[in-house]
């Protein structure tokens, strides 16, 4: 008498909306804690820290897109945190929060932020173009997979499977020295 192995227990899954809410709550508490922990005179450093952490969370959100079958939530977090990070960093350096930083000394950090933002936008454009090419390639692959298989004999003899039309003859002249 054989016994069947016990059925695997179903994994407990958290709904994406609940996971997003928990992650946003943790980020909110972290950012509020940083802002409140530093005294009034150090809000410039608090905003700089919050901006850098937001950009790091955006990178983490982008990298976790590869782990999900439908990465819409991770993509939304990456967009949200990157927007927040750049907005807070630009605000920290453009607003007069740091009395030691004058207009001339703020030029270098703002220039670096602009260069980082341009690089970030170039990466977004490159990734969007790559994602579009992947979607087109997947559609072509699915269309090809739905066609009936070609007989090896017909394919080897130069014939077609009947559902395809043979390619038109080439009108290019034979190169010199060719057959």
CA distances from 111 to 43, 95, 116, 124, 133 (A): 21, 15, 9, 20, 33
Question: Distance between CA 106 and CA 120 in Å, rounded?
Answer: 21
Question: Distance between CA 26 and CA 39 in Å, rounded?
Answer: 22
What mean pLDDT comes out for the span 88-107?
79
Per-residue pLDDT at 163: 54
Per-residue pLDDT at 12: 54
Per-residue pLDDT at 133: 73
Band (14; pLDDT cuts 50, 70, 90) = low
39-48 CB contacts, 8 Å cutoff, 24+ apart? 43/97, 44/92, 44/97, 44/98, 44/101, 47/88, 47/89, 47/91, 47/92, 47/97, 48/89, 48/92
Band (24; pLDDT cuts 50, 70, 90) = confident
Q: State what percent of residues in the chain have pLDDT above 90.
A: 13
Question: Distance between CA 120 and CA 113 in Å, rounded?
Answer: 10
> Considering just the CA atoms, what is the radius of gyration of the chain in Å?
28
Query: Which of these, 122, 143, 124, lies nearest to 132 by C-alpha position?
Result: 124
Per-residue pLDDT at 118: 93
Asked whether residue 13 carries a pLDDT value surpassing 80, the answer given is no
Tell if the pTM clears 0.75, that is, is over it: no
Q: For residues 161 and 154, is the Cβ–Cβ distance under 8 A?
A: yes
Question: Distance between CA 15 and CA 8 in Å, rounded?
Answer: 21
**What's the mean pLDDT when you consider all of the chain?**
77
* pLDDT tens-digit readout, 38-96: 877 788 888 889 999 999 998 988 888 777 777 778 888 888 899 999 999 998 888 87
């Amino acid at each position: 008498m054989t016994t069947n192995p016990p059925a695997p227990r179903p994994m407990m899954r958290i709904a994406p909306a609940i996971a997003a809410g928990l992650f946003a709550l943790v980020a909110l508490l972290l950012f509020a804690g940083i802002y409140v922990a530093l005294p009034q005179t150090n809000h410039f450093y608090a905003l700089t820290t919050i901006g850098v952490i937001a950009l790091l969370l955006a990178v983490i959100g982008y990298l976790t897109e590869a782990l999900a079958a439908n990465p819409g939530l991770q993509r939304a977090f990456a967009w949200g945190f990157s927007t927040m990070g750049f907005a807070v960093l630009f605000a920290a350096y453009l607003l007069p929060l740091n009395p030691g930083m004058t207009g001339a000394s703020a030029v270098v950090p703002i220039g670096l932020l602009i260069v980082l933002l341009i690089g970030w936008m170039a990466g977004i454009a490159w990734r969007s173009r790559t994602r579009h090419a992947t979607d087109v390639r997947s559609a072509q692959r699915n269309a090809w997979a739905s066609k009936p298989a070609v007989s090896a004999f017909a394919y080897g003899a130069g014939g077609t499977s009947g559902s395809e039309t043979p390619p038109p003859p080439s009108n290019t002249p034979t190169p010199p020295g060719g057959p």
